[in-house]
A = this chain, B = another copy of it.
């Protein structure tokens, strides 16, 4: 499907990632993957022992794609305002490139929570980072409203991610095409950026 220089194993993973993301684990057959990869259906079992093992490999990759960039941003030594803005920008770009990344992860996780074992460490790192301390400091200095960092992170994530989780619904309800949705999403991101920052950074610290 992509460049022909890829090894067979890599071609299988690429195809599997595509098909799994589109149809989910239960909706995907091993023959779907073989066809998408242009390989014999026995090769999937040759390189990865089973559909489940292949899925775990893909799922770890996808979770890493999801969290790695976020984690890096979260630990950057930049101002809170910048960090929040960049976190939201990063999610937005990531989701524009792969709109069903989040709903895929969340749904597979719901169907089978133990599947996060491979990436659970990464997920746990997110809340326990520099970000947390940064928030605490800002609160102590009276710069932002006193809220636990978990809630702030949830706000940052929810207001971007749900846009894409509900993309089909939004398009149907508002009668939008792809371009229309993108415009809506772009506008929305600016609004929620403002909303979150205005909520956290109160205009007048009443001293």
Residues on A lying within 8 angstroms of B by beta carbon are 23-24, 26-27, 100, 103, 105-107, 109-111, 113, 116, 120, 123-124, 126-127, 147-148, 150-151, 154-155, 157-159, 161-163, 165-170, 172-175, 184, 187-188, 191-192, 194-196, 198-199, 203
14 A-B residue pairs with CB within 8 Å: A27-B111, A100-B110, A103-B107, A105-B169, A106-B166, A106-B169, A109-B169, A113-B168, A123-B172, A148-B187, A151-B184, A151-B188, A154-B170, A158-B159
Enumerate chain B residues within 8 angstroms of A170, measured Cβ to Cβ: 154
Bound Cα distance from A203 to B203, whole angstroms: 10
Q: Which of B120, B159, B184 contacts A155 (CB 8 A)?
A: B159
User: Is B151's CB under 8 angstroms from A191's CB?
Assistant: yes
Chain A to chain B: the 6 pairs with minimum beta-carbon distance, closest first? A158-B162, A26-B26, A26-B27, A195-B199, A162-B162, A123-B173
Bound Cα distance from A106 to B172, whole angstroms: 12
Q: Which of B162, B175, B194 contacts A199 (CB 8 A)?
A: B194
Enumerate chain B residues within 8 angstroms of A150, measured Cβ to Cβ: 174, 184
User: Is B109's CB under 8 angstroms from A168's CB?
Assistant: yes
Bound Cα distance from A159 to B167, whole angstroms: 15
Enumerate chain B residues within 8 angstroms of A194, measured Cβ to Cβ: 199
